Amino acid sequence: MGKDKKKDKGHVRAVPPPAPQDAHERNPGMPLQLDWVRDVRINRSAVERRAATIPTRRSVKKEWQAAWYLRAIACTDLTTLAGDDTPGRVRRLCAKARRPVRQDLLDAMGVGDLDLRVAAVCVYHEMIPTALDALEGSGIPVAAVAAGFPAGLSPLHERIKEVEASVAAGAEEIDIVINRAHLFTGNWQAMYDEVKAFRQACGDAHLKTILATGDLQLLRNIARASLVCMMAGADFIKTSTGKEAVNATLPVTLVMVRMIRAYLERTGHRVGFKAAGGIRSAKQTLGYLALMKDELPRDYLEPELFRFGASTLVSDLERQLEHFVTGRYSAEFRHPLA
């Protein structure tokens, strides 16, 4: 790197290429245990105090921060779920998924051989063929939202058919949203039965269940819904559709992650976590990554078990990495998403 001090600091010593992870058994689910669900208690003030300390207690700087930003990119589901989506937009999104950070920046950081790509591309059913074509040979899976997204209020047989259709079209991951009415009426059996039916409809495709936490009012409701979805066989539990007024937050994440840990301790089965909606800046990712590192085993920092769901996040991560390398911020328009 010569004598250029700004370039010298660009070496990211903390980021080897992600090693392949040992395959873990999918969560097979378990019979619904209503006593466990009803016994859940959440101390809201304690959760909020704990969550508030995470961004300050676990600060990372310089090359370590750049390393965590690279990890965040690898764990991102790059998403477009707009009413005006077009094949052209999806193709541009997929191009970004293949190469989320410019090669010259990776070279300057000393990780030019890093096979960096996002975890998945998430689209509506209509755009699955376009995404599959644009991602061919990349190894990046296509995820599709289904089951009456984002409200989950269409007839159950139609929601199941949506899941089956998206799997048949080639989606390897399916993001469904729960029917929140079951939660508010205390009909846990109905929620369990529906999620179990979606899991069966997925076949080999992985099922992510969206709780729409901004609509659930109480942290206790979020904890209970998390447990029910895991018991029904969900591969991931996910915070939000991105359409609610309040989406992913650290307190909500802490509650869901603690439920994942409790389920792991009781059953031995790993369930992934996806923070989605409202995560737009690189700095926000550090709190979520630190929380996962504190609360769960090391493999929960891999895309097999942890995801960000975002549309613009990757662009800001790349912009921050450019600042790390050059010491300057480029204009935001130089980092368009799609």
Structure tokens at 138: 């990349």
Determine whether 175 is an active site residue: yes
Q: Which of 207, 293, 286 is nearest to 26 (CA)?
A: 207
Of 175, 215, 235, 316, which is the active-site residue? 175
Q: Which of 236, 320, 293, 309 is nearest to 79 (CA)?
A: 309
Determine whether 238 is an active site residue: yes
How far apart CA 45 and CA 47 sit, in angstroms, is 5
Structure tokens at 24: 């873990």
Contact 143, 121 (CB under 8 A): yes
Alpha helices in 176-249 (DSSP H): 180-184, 188-202, 219-231
On the 0-12 / 13-18 / 19+ scale of CB atoms within 10 A, 23 is exposed
Q: Which of 307, 214, 208, 224 is nearest to 263 (CA)?
A: 224
Structure tokens at 47: 């959760």
Of 77, 96, 274, 316, which is the active-site residue? 274
Question: Mind giving me the DSSP string for 139-176?
Answer: -PPEEEE-SSTTT--S-HHHHHHHHHHHHHHT-SEEEE
SS3 102: coil
Q: Which of 235, 213, 233, 214 is nearest to 224 (CA)?
A: 213
Determine whether 96 is an active site residue: no
CA-to-CA separations, 154 to 122, 129, 162, 166, 299, in angstroms, rounded: 21, 24, 11, 16, 36
Q: Which of 141, 134, 136 is nearest to 94 (CA)?
A: 134
CA-to-CA separations, 135 to 20, 97, 164, in angstroms, rounded: 20, 8, 21
Residue type, 317: L
Of 96, 215, 238, 316, which is the active-site residue? 238
Catalytically active residues, by annotation: 175, 238, 274
